[in-house]
Amino acid sequence: MARPKNVRDEADFVIVGTGAGGATAARVLSAAGLDVLMLEEGPNLRVEDRPREAVDALRTALRGFGTTTSTGLAPIPFLQGCIVGGSTAINSGIIWRMPEDVRRDWIERFGLGELVEETGLTKAFEIIEEELEVDVTRADVLGGNSEKMALACEKLGLPGKPITRNARRCAGANQCLQGCPTRARMSMDNSYVPRALSDGARLHDLMQVERVIIEEGRAVGVRGLTLDKETRQPVGSFEVRARRAVIVACGAIQTPVLLRRSGLKGMVGERFQAHPGAAIVGRFPDAPVGMGYGATQGYEVPMRERGFKIESLSLPPEMLATRIAGVGAEWQERLAHMDQFAQWAVQSRFKAQGTVRPGLFGGASIRYNPLPSDVKQIQDALALMVRMMFVAGATEVHPGLGGGIPDVLTSIDQADLIANMRPKPGEIHLVASHLFGTACAADDPRKGAVRPDLMSWDVRDLYVMDACVFPTNMGVNPQHSIMGVVWRAASKLANQERLAKSA
């Protein structure tokens, strides 16, 4: 039966977004017996309905096919999931608990002691880890890409280790980006969204929320447009009322856009932060890599004291081919031996801060410019990765850089060319998938947009529950920290509802 184009509905809690934050909030609140309605702009796709070709799969699941970028001389693409499950549906399931230095900083500078209190946050992490089957990547599914990185770490004495992921039953299919074909990776579309539905929550997909409805200083619902599944173009409208609260969990770019369109100002959209990254490719002709098997990301080298983390990143052939240097017969020869190539990436903890505003013609306007120290930091990481590849047995490395750096490096000494380059904007090609800030939590409205309980300083019963509330970036993958913080905030909200009903 066709879905109606114009929709009206209501619930105790209306949650906008189904990623790490929104799905966790839905899981906690629905388990407490509360009436929860989840809204998602993207489609609700079964794994078997997602294309296996990576480009087609990402076109289906990425917001704007990854075309959201910052303004400036060197635009940076920002990757955001637009599908039920949010960005968890297109990531590799990497799990890191919040680093202690970050937790202490948030308490001391931003007054978030109750939100990230150690015992309560640890308990939340433990529950999530058990429910989402979190475990260290097994040796039998590391794959050649990760094994090469492990060898490099052994030879250079680096602190490498297998990655902890929410995929205990991983079969090494290397299809995390397309949606795990065995459902072993516990992304939100495979875990907390269906769990919330089984506890009585409801889900409307293809709902583009345009505005939070605010009456007498209180959030009472949302309204927006229903979208066609194939074209993603508007075909109708909807209005959903919230009896208790509206929870916005659209991510560090879409959340501030929605809030500002709804009339909020102040710190909304300020202090945008990110972990921009870059990647290199190396060729190992004497010991083929076989990137088609293994965990998409199975091994990492945490270097937080230097501001970055190196990760293995396996790509399907159609994406790997774009990273291989050469033209004509030279390029074709390399493509014929694609199983000899490995790819590693770095995520760097930049100190730069930017802003996010609604775009003049829709979408988002993002101002974000890396600092000179940020650029130097990622140069150091790229130079280190080049050295790692050569000591692990690579005969050539493809850095993918401008600034006069050769397309193909053939000696470990050439890593110094990267470390010492003075790049112009755009000569280091950056992409960012870890995004933070823009509705920071703080004990003072001059420092943040939401209170320590994640309710807006300006509008009652309007909560933000995603990485927007993080006052700083972290230097590690944020998914687990988002879930832990939201678990704490949503549990407090559920307890308040229980007390109100029993009074």
Give the number of other CB atoms < 10 A from CB of residue 358.
16
Parallel, antiparallel, or unpaired for β 7-16 and 135-136? unpaired
- Residue (of 131, 126, 137) closest to 191 by Cα position: 131
Q: Which residues contact 227 (CB under 8 A, 6 or more apart)?
A: 41, 206, 207, 208, 233, 234, 235
Dist. CA 198–CA 346, nearest whole Å: 38
Residue 283 placed within a domain: yes
Extended strands (E) in 155-272: 161-162, 164-165, 202-204, 207-215, 218-227, 234-248
- Three-state secondary-structure class, residue 96: coil
Domain boundaries, position 338: 136-165+273-352+371-429
155-167 mean pLDDT: 98
- Give the residue carrying structure tokens 């080298």: 301
343 forms beta bridges with 281
Dist. CA 349–CA 277, nearest whole Å: 9
Catalytic residue, candidates 275, 337, 398, 434: 434
Residue 415 placed within a domain: yes
Confidence of residue 74 (pLDDT cuts 50, 70, 90): confident
Confidence of residue 5 (pLDDT cuts 50, 70, 90): low
Query: What pLDDT score does 2 carry?
Result: 47
The domain total for the chain is 1
404-420 mean pLDDT: 97
* Max intra-chain CA distance, the chain: 78
Across 324-353, b (16+ Cβ under 10 Å) vs e yields: bbeeeeeeeebeeebebbbbbbbbbbbebb
Dist. CA 449–CA 441, nearest whole Å: 6
Average pLDDT of the chain, as a whole number: 94
* pLDDT tens string 471-486: 999 999 999 999 999 9
- Tell me whether residue 434 is one of the annotated catalytic residues: yes
The percent helix, strand, coil of the chain (3-state, each to 5) is 35, 25, 40
Residue 387 placed within a domain: yes
344 forms beta bridges with 280, 312
Residue 176 placed within a domain: no
| C-alpha 481: how far from chain center | 11
Residue 392 placed within a domain: yes
41-51 mean pLDDT: 88
Dist. CA 236–CA 5, nearest whole Å: 5
103 has pLDDT over 60:
yes
211-230 mean pLDDT: 96
CB contact at 8 A, 206 and 42: yes
- Give the residue carrying structure tokens 């990402």: 58
Residue 289 placed within a domain: yes
1 has pLDDT over 60:
no
Dist. CA 214–CA 198, nearest whole Å: 30
Give the number of other CB atoms < 10 A from CB of residue 231.
8
CB contact at 8 A, 42 and 272: no
Residue 9 placed within a domain: no
- Residue (of 13, 41, 44, 25) closest to 196 by Cα position: 25
Residue 12 placed within a domain: no
